[in-house]
Amino acid sequence: MCGLAFQYTHDQHPEAVKHAMNAALKRLQHRGPDENGLYADTPAYFAHARLSIVDLNDSHQPMHSPDQRFTLVFNGEIYNHKGLRNDLASKWTFITKGDTEVILAGLILEGENFLTRMQGMWAFAFWDSRTERLLLSRDRMGEKPLYYTQQHGRFSCASELPALRCLATSPWSDDLDSSADYFRFGYCLPGYTAWKQVFEVLPGHWLSWRPGAPIEQHAYWKLNLPGSEKSPTNDDDLRHALGEAVRSRLLADVEIGAFLSGGIDSSLICALAQEQIKRPLKTYTIGFNQSSYDESHHAAEVAAFLGTDHHCEIFTHWDEKQLESLLHNHLGQPFSDSSLLPTALVSRVAAGGVKVSLSGDGADELFGGYQRYQARIILRWYSRLPGTLKKVSEKIIQAIPEPMTHHSRNLLKKAHLFVDIAMRQRAETPYIAPLMFHPDEYATLFPDLVGLGHTPHGLPQQSQPDDLQQMLYSDSLIYLPQDILAKVDHASMASSLETRAPFLDHKVVELAFKRDARQHLSIGNGKKWIRTAFHDKLPEKTWDRRKQGFGVPVHEWFRGELGGKLVNLLASQPSPIRSEAALKMLSAHKSGARDHGHRLWMLYVYLSMQNYGQH
């Protein structure tokens, strides 16, 4: 795993550009502490920070073709690179054993068509000095980030926004359409960032740029939404596909470990990995002294069952300053998912023993694991109740103070969440992603943003108001890359740790979508196909566990010092947030009437980063 940067400019002094590229490289150092590479082919400049995983002593970057015409900087892993190498060997004399030269050769010999043959995760910049054409690309699901901007004849791209900002010659300004998206969903939509004229390459796409020509961006892969004709699939198909995905992700020239939370997804990946290696797999988890956030005992039980070499670190306190540092120094834009912090903590623990860790990311979106899918099924029955009965029920539940605990442990908390979902149902149709606010709340808090926002790329028209298939599809193409994968990539790379997610193998993804959503879940039962296909791999109690996931006590923070900080931020700078409405929300939270912790965190993050682009 690595970090890359590129800049094309005619109107800057070469020494000034090299200085900026060095600054960008310094910002990327955590992504690749093993080796740095800078190269100037004026007016094109390249920077690369390498985390050595495969072909440790060679495969230096930037990598050039023998005639120096082509240059490649690459971040990621191509799991089938050995097979691709054999296919290309008759046309190319390889001098390294890694995947970087395979990509270089494949793009030179076959162009963009080579992308369809690559299996893995990637972001790269490929430069043709003769035609002055730049080709950028990201992997199918968006595991690896890549951001870009062009202005006044200059073009720049980088693996992270803080590095890209080093290449800017003028301040960045807020994109209010992205602000509207952020307050609706908690993150920017695919292709966009929080800043005007700063974009991200879309997952599953390649982008072509030439000086003076418009940018072209085309899909090389699309996830098909199942039609009425479903392809027949069985448990053996899934067992084979996921088993192969795990096997290919165990290939490396360094030791590989795995995250183990004790939930179904990470436990299953660990079980499949342990079957394929001869030594005990190193597994990693974190625990907390607050029982409502601690799952470490579940992880220990699974580790004992599987016979892994298990490592756990217990954290005694939370520090929101660590979370703010991750946002400012790694993500570089507002991002509301506070589980970024525990993800970074477990990554730091794992990085103490390995350079690569497997993860269970993607299973919830592909196989129907979230509670919101269950809620949609229940809503079909709830919507048939008389309107008066529904209103009375909702008022009664809302009148009861909302517990500040995780919903997996409290029925009343689940009732509050269900009422929120029921009230937002119409606004979430057609479904794009879970909304953070009911439209009335949104209009009260952000009146200047009503009517603003971007249209998401590539989503089909929804066929039914409660179409579960649409939810799985949209979450796989929006929530998964923009929230989960962005979080995991930035949090893990902050500790120079590469993460690999077998569930995101495109063959597994395509197989999951050959089945209708109702074959994946029913009332009280998600991930049905995973449960039947792999039931023998895990203890019974693991399959019966309620989903919890990482949590952060933001509700406690805003009852203390962070509440005061939010008040000061609201008073000290202009923003799209209506202060009176935000203060009213904070007051209701402090009184215990409602748990607005995550919504308040969203406001706080936005305000704390509002001047980020100016520096």
Boundary (domain end) residue, out of 509, 526, 544:
544
Judged against a pLDDT cut of 50, whether residue 206 lies above it is answered with yes
In a domain, 240, yes or no: yes
95 belongs to a structural domain: yes
16 and 54 part of one domain: yes
Measured CA to CA, the distance from residue 249 to residue 360 in angstroms comes to 12
Output the domain CATH number for residue 360.
3.40.50.620
Same domain, yes or no: 199 and 312: no
Residue 437 belongs to some domain of the structure: no
pLDDT at 141 over 80: yes
Band of the pLDDT at 152, cuts 50, 70, 90? Answer: confident
pLDDT in tens, 367-421: 999 888 877 777 665 555 555 655 555 555 455 555 555 555 555 555 555 556 6
The one-letter code for the residue type at 53 is I
Predicted local distance difference test score (pLDDT) of residue 381: 59
Please check whether residues 482 and 566 belong to one and the same domain.
no
Range of the domain at 480: 235-368+470-544
Burial of 210 (0-12, 13-18, 19+ CB in 10 A): middle
Instruction: Convert the pLDDT of each residue in 322-353 to its tens digit.
Output: 888 999 999 999 999 999 999 999 999 999 99
In the prediction, which pLDDT does 404 show? 52
Indicate if 491 and 351 belong to the same structural domain.
yes
Note the pLDDT of residue 228. 46
Do 205 and 108 share a structural domain?
A: yes
- 78-87, 454-463, 594-603: least confident range: 454-463
- CA–CA dist 341, 331 (Å, integer): 12
Asked whether residue 225 is assigned to any structural domain, the reply reads: no
151 and 278 housed in the same domain = no
Same domain, 501 and 611: no
Indicate whether 547 pLDDT > 60.
Answer: yes
pTM of the shown model:
0.92
Question: Got the DSSP string for 332-355?
Answer: -S----TTHHHHHHHHHHHHTT-S
One domain for residues 319 and 243: yes
CA 503, 504, 506: angle at the middle one, nearest 5?
A: 115
On whether both 94 and 128 belong to a single domain, the answer is: yes
What mean pLDDT comes out for the span 89-110? 97
Q: Could you tell me if residue 425 is inside a domain?
A: no
Q: What is the mean pLDDT of residues 550-566?
A: 86
Q: Report the candidate in 225, 227, 226, 205 with the shortest Cα–Cα distance to residue 216.
A: 205
| Dihedral sign for Cα atoms in the order 426, 427, 433, 436 | negative
Count of structural domains within the chain: 3
Tell me, yes or no, whether 362 lies in a domain.
yes
Residue 46 lies in a domain: yes
358 and 499 housed in the same domain? yes
Q: Which of 497, 515, 544 is the last residue of a domain?
A: 544
200-204, 424-428, 456-460, 472-476: range with lowest mean pLDDT? 424-428
For residues 280 and 214, membership in a common domain is answered with no
Q: State how far the Cα of 220 lies from the Cα of 231, in Å rounded to an integer.
A: 22
Q: Which residues contact 562 (CB under 8 A, 6 or more apart)?
A: 320, 554, 604
Q: How many CB atoms lie within 10 A of CB 391?
A: 11
Region 5-23: mean pLDDT is 94
Q: Which range has highest mean pLDDT (6-15, 284-293, 392-401)?
A: 6-15
Average pLDDT of span 540-550: 76
The answer to whether residue 477 sits within a structural domain is yes
The pLDDT of residue 397 is 47
59 and 116: one domain? yes
pLDDT band at 70 (very low <50, low <70, confident <90, very high): very high
Q: What is the CATH number of the domain that holds 206?
A: 3.60.20.10
DSSP string, 231-294: PP--HHHHHHHHHHHHHHTT--SS-EEEE--SSHHHHHHHHHHHHH-SSPPEEEEEEESSGGG-
For all residues of the chain together, what is the average pLDDT? Answer: 89
Q: Which has the higher per-residue pLDDT, 260 or 430?
A: 260
